[in-house]
Structure 1
Amino acid sequence: MKSKFYCVLLLSVANVSCVASSKKYETFDIHFVVITPNPLAHSTVKLAQLKNEVDILNTYFVKEDRSPIIKFNFKSASFYNEIQNSSCSFVALNNGNRVYNADIWARHFNLCNDPKVRDPHAINFYVFDSYTLKQGFKNRDGHGKRNGNRPFLLLDWERLNHNVQAPEEHEMGHAFGLNHVCALGAKPDSSTNIMASSCKGGSTGKRDIGFNDEQVKKIMHYVPLIKEKLAVKK
């Protein structure tokens, strides 16, 4: 856990004073896995981008006042050529026209014992190619699941780099137990909560407002429970 420096403008002396804060945050490691066989994704998704995903989370997974809640660390990454022949059935879920089903994907995730595919001591972040019956592989969804305090998330490769409605922090919010918040009447350029959903119509908005007090409380409720699960040796 790292101390953070805060700079305070002292108007009386026209000076800036920087002091170290003793505030500490719980940290979580992230293991990235590229599970889509799409060659276009392979030519686009590189190690530098995956490391940048952690910076994005640390920038935007924040409270309404933009202060941090927890911190994330890059731990490792597995690319498709490393895991395509894995015995884990989870990998095959993104082969072919497979629509995401939270319970089915979680079951395959929990059965996986290949550390390249599922690191039991980290939050696993899967880069996949989302598919729906209506849009096919043009769909660009993401999903996050707490999964009994062994969280994982999936993000379409075209949504990386914070592309389209704050996907990283939104899906990580789901991974820490948060549900959608209705944003009825929101337009694409409306400022909305990170967990905003169109619900019965309209838009999710920009999802540029941090987690509110109730959401932060729920996240912090799950932090020690997730920490405990990720620390268990198999």
Structure 2
Amino acid sequence: MTEPGIDRARGVLYPQRLPRFTRLEPSGEASALVRWFWIPQWDLPAGAESRQPVLAYPAANLVVDADAVSLWGATTRLSERVLRGSGWAVGALLRPAALARLHDAPSDLVDGHLALEVPGLRAAVAAAMPDAEAASHVLAEWIVSRVGAPTPEGRLANAVSDLLMTDASILRVDDAAERLRVSVRTLQRLAHRTVGLSPAAMIRRRRLQEAAQRVRDEPDTALAEIAAELGYADQAHLANDFRAVLGFTATEYRSAH
């Protein structure tokens, strides 16, 4: 079942460039720890490459491929995945309750990653491939066994992330604090401990993801209208956000599609 408010295409700036790509829902205990599993598989001709700029969700990913198990922190800028030759990866978009148990300082992981020494996990996932569903089950079982059930703080952190990542009506941190019935300070400290980003940064990322998707998919909608509906001060504010994070303007992005 698809989680309300979560769009799995959001943040993928050029969907037509994707290789074979599978996204799967977690089930059971894993659903409190993982938003979804993503599994790309590719086999490119010699010398060819596939480049995919990604405006990622404000969350961490646990990624297993043929060579390593890596924990990737949330990002504050555009990232790019470059695929060559043949290969695969099995990734889990982690919920805050899981990240807080896998790393004690998520803010140190922002815009970076670290390798985890889990050779048994890598071998088990590799043995399950190319069956994406079987491989995701292997990774889910490891996450559940390693992390355990969410703590009360983890459940609150999940609720914070769900709200900031999905609710377009939340434009200010004060709005989120009021909705969740906690103080702004509590919200800020919780996001820092479990995601590594501020609540304001998470709101800005969700809004820019929504803007990019609408600019691409609604060619007849004026940019000024999109800016106003998403809470930007004006079209110039939208343009500045695009340029600062993506490196190009909304007009240039629309023209590319």
Tell me which interval the TM-score lies in, with the shorter structure as reference length: 0.3 to 0.5
Structure 1 length-normalised TM: 0.32
